[in-house]
Amino acid sequence: MGISGIAQTDSTTKTPDTIKIGTMIIVKTPGDEPGDKEKTRIYHRKEYKPSAVSTNWLVLDLGFANYDDKTDYAASFASGFTGAGVGKDQLKLRTGKSVNVNIWLFMQRLNMVKNVVNLKYGLGLELNNYRYSEPVLFETSPTQIVIDNSTNYSKNKLAADYVTIPMMLNFNFTPNKRRGFGLSVGASAGYLYSSRQKTITDLEGKEKLRNDFDLRKWKISYIGELQLGPVTLYGSLASESMFEKGLDQTPYNFGLRLSSWH
């Protein structure tokens, strides 16, 4: 048993003496007047003990969405997937408006080695909104991306939503703290359950076109998170283009994860 004490003898400041014995804290406070008996209080500090399996419900991610564009637009135009005048500049995103929101129904952490090495997994919805700067328009049957200069677009986005299962190896460097320091790395598999283009124009107002736009049904991503005390950062990078053909655009997300482990 380790005992540490800090003695304070200045009667004018009446600083309390503190003695720590394991999880017990003894505080001795001098009396208010000379000759008064000192007051003794005993506190019991609750020690945090991580469980072998811990579950976090309704974890929320708030971040940004973008993609790495390596498309050969000459080949894309020749195949008919993109129309005249559509290139890398026309498909640039508005970075501040392109957002990623993930709603994890649950995340679970399973102890593997002394609560330092853990397996972390979950299930949730991955929602991506890609906001275009230029008036690009998706046509269907077959899919083709064209430029529409006939009207003014006040809003133009492509939404791609997935049901996703993440699987990570978690390294908790401070297992005896509720909010410590650690990192997780792994992969996720997502299934595209909804995709649509939403536009708002001066002439037509609000319109929403639902189609798969030749997006891949499955998305495999490399994922990671960094826990810095109360703050957790996350990131993901897809293993390939989100389109089956025509465009070579590999999506990635990063942002802030709002969660707490019990």
In a shared domain, residues 134 and 25 = no
Is the pLDDT at 2 greater than 90, yes or no? no
Model confidence pLDDT, tens digit, residues 83-141:
999 999 999 999 999 999 999 999 999 999 998 999 999 999 999 999 999 999 999 99
- Structurally, the chain folds into a number of domains equal to 2
| Greater model confidence, 15 or 195 | 195
Is the pLDDT at 32 greater than 80, yes or no? no
In a shared domain, residues 103 and 189 = yes
| Greater model confidence, 160 or 28 | 160
In a shared domain, residues 30 and 135 = no
| Greater model confidence, 78 or 180 | 78
In a shared domain, residues 77 and 196 = yes
Domain carrying residue 25:
3-44
Model confidence pLDDT, tens digit, residues 39-60:
777 766 666 677 888 899 999 9
In a shared domain, residues 123 and 30 = no
Three-class HEC string of the chain: CCEEEECCCCCCCCCCEEEEECCEEEEEECCCCCCCCCEEEEEECCCCCCCCEEEEEEEEEEEEEEEEECCCHHHHHHHCCECCCCCCCCCCECCCCCEEEEEEEEEEEEEEECCCEEEEEEEEEEEEEEEECCCEEEECCCCEEEECCCCCEEEEEEEEEEEEEEEEEEEECCCCCCCCEEEEEEEEEEEEEEEEEEEEECCCEEEEEECCCCECCEEEEEEEEEEECCEEEEEEEECCCCECCCCCEEEEEEEEEECCCC
In a shared domain, residues 170 and 253 = yes
In a shared domain, residues 210 and 109 = yes
In a shared domain, residues 18 and 76 = no
Average pLDDT (196-202) is: 94
| Greater model confidence, 3 or 88 | 88
In a shared domain, residues 145 and 230 = yes
pTM: 0.80
In a shared domain, residues 58 and 18 = no
Q: Across the chain, what does the average pLDDT equal?
A: 88
**Residue 259: pLDDT band with limits 50, 70, 90:** confident
In a shared domain, residues 32 and 99 = no
Is the pLDDT at 156 greater than 90, yes or no? yes
**Residue 225: pLDDT band with limits 50, 70, 90:** very high
